[in-house]
Chains A and B, each alone.
Chain A
């Protein structure tokens, strides 16, 4: 079995080396793994560093957003017949040691999509993020009827079945909710496992801007009522 770790990256030269290093060192149940950095139109040396670090690099000529980057990654994974795909943020907020626990439900055939849910404790998540995340979860539930505790998490794993069935259509940050919607429509089993997230100032700046929540809501509404 082989697993692909998709790392969408947009101007992440400060952290990409550290993230790849950590992923390279991490064993995942003895699976063969490939680190696939999706360089989403970065203007810094993200792609160069990733290539030097021996990762597979797929570059978008212009920035197309998180959704597009993940979609490119999943297309690569599908084409190259990987058994498992993992998405991992490039800003250093995830810990590679969570990966084994993350894909365990897939290996045991208990889930098609596993979401690494960041913990809602004091150290886990800043208060503003907590509020927006709760709001996002409620909206995701109302619109798509999928209830998860962290609908916006960037750490996810997909089984081969999910890789084959999921088709991402959204370009930007609203992809997190789009994935859950697709899971629902295509009857994929979704499971959450708790993970630790490291909120540094860097990841806060690089992550979703709070104001972006309104934009995501607007697009989710449009997808809900416009597309199937």
Chain B
């Protein structure tokens, strides 16, 4: 158990160091930095003090800490799917723009005027 905690903590530290590096390079926005830091600190807290999840779960009336994690995972996954859906739509629209530009360059007019 201790070894798992240690390994995950090292990984979290690694992730945070990469995040800070990317932030310094200007590749992560301020909001991005805060958001990701929050996520990683939450992970680290849960790893070090697993009781926290039970306490929050109790507070929210869910019962078990494990349930809380599953519920929040589902919500996060749904949100991510929604984001992917939106970005796919954006890509589709970009593809259409390219196809349209090409199509309008190559209009084949009918031979006779009506």
In the complex, whether B106 has a CB less than 8 A from a CB of chain A is yes
Q: A76 contacts B99, CB within 8 Å? A: no
In B14-46, which residues have CB < 8 Å from any A CB?
A: none
Contacts of A191 in B (CB 8 A): none
Chain A: residues with CB nearer than 8 A to chain B? 24, 32-35, 38, 47, 51, 53-62, 64, 68, 71-72, 75-76, 79, 169, 171, 219, 222, 226
Binary CB contact string for chain B from 99 to 114 against chain A (1 if under 8 A, 0 otherwise):
1101110111111101
Smallest distance from the beta carbon of B89 to chain A beta carbons, Å? 7
Known: A72-B104, A171-B93, A222-B86. A62 touches B110 (CB 8 A): no
Smallest distance from the beta carbon of B110 to chain A beta carbons, Å? 4
In the complex, whether B96 has a CB less than 8 A from a CB of chain A is yes
Interface size on B, residues (CB 8 A): 20
Closest Cβ neighbor of B106 among chain A residues: A59
In the complex, whether B95 has a CB less than 8 A from a CB of chain A is yes
Q: Which of B89, B96, B107, B108 contacts A71 (CB 8 A)?
A: B96
Closest Cβ neighbor of B107 among chain A residues: A58
Residue picked from B86, B96, B107, B114, most chain A C-beta under 10 Å: B96
Known: A222-B86, A226-B86. A60 touches B103 (CB 8 A): yes
Binary CB contact string for chain B from 73 to 103 against chain A (1 if under 8 A, 0 otherwise):
0000000000001100100110110011011
Contacts of B103 in A (CB 8 A): 38, 58-61, 72
Contacts of B104 in A (CB 8 A): 58, 72, 75-76, 79
Q: A62 contacts B109, CB within 8 Å? A: no
Q: B114 contacts A34, CB within 8 Å? A: yes
Contacts of A62 in B (CB 8 A): 95, 99
Closest Cβ neighbor of A36 among chain B residues: B107
Q: A64 contacts B99, CB within 8 Å? A: yes
Q: A32 contacts B99, CB within 8 Å? A: no
Closest Cβ neighbor of B100 among chain A residues: A72
Contacts of A169 in B (CB 8 A): 93
Q: Which of B96, B102, B109, B112 contacts A171 (CB 8 A)?
A: B96
- A33 and B93 CA atoms in complex are apart in Å by 30
Q: A51 contacts B110, CB within 8 Å? A: yes
Known: A32-B114, A33-B114, A171-B93. A57 touches B108 (CB 8 A): yes
Q: Which of A47, A54, A57, A58 contacts B112 (CB 8 A)?
A: A54
Smallest distance from the beta carbon of A63 to chain B beta carbons, Å? 9
Smallest distance from the beta carbon of A16 to chain B beta carbons, Å? 14
Smallest distance from the beta carbon of B102 to chain A beta carbons, Å? 6
- A38 and B103 CA atoms in complex are apart in Å by 9
Q: B86 contacts A64, CB within 8 Å? A: no
Q: A60 contacts B100, CB within 8 Å? A: yes
Q: A56 contacts B102, CB within 8 Å? A: no
16 residue pairs A–B, Cβ–Cβ below 8 Å = A24-B114, A32-B114, A34-B114, A55-B110, A56-B108, A58-B106, A59-B103, A59-B108, A60-B99, A61-B103, A62-B95, A71-B96, A79-B104, A169-B93, A171-B96, A222-B85
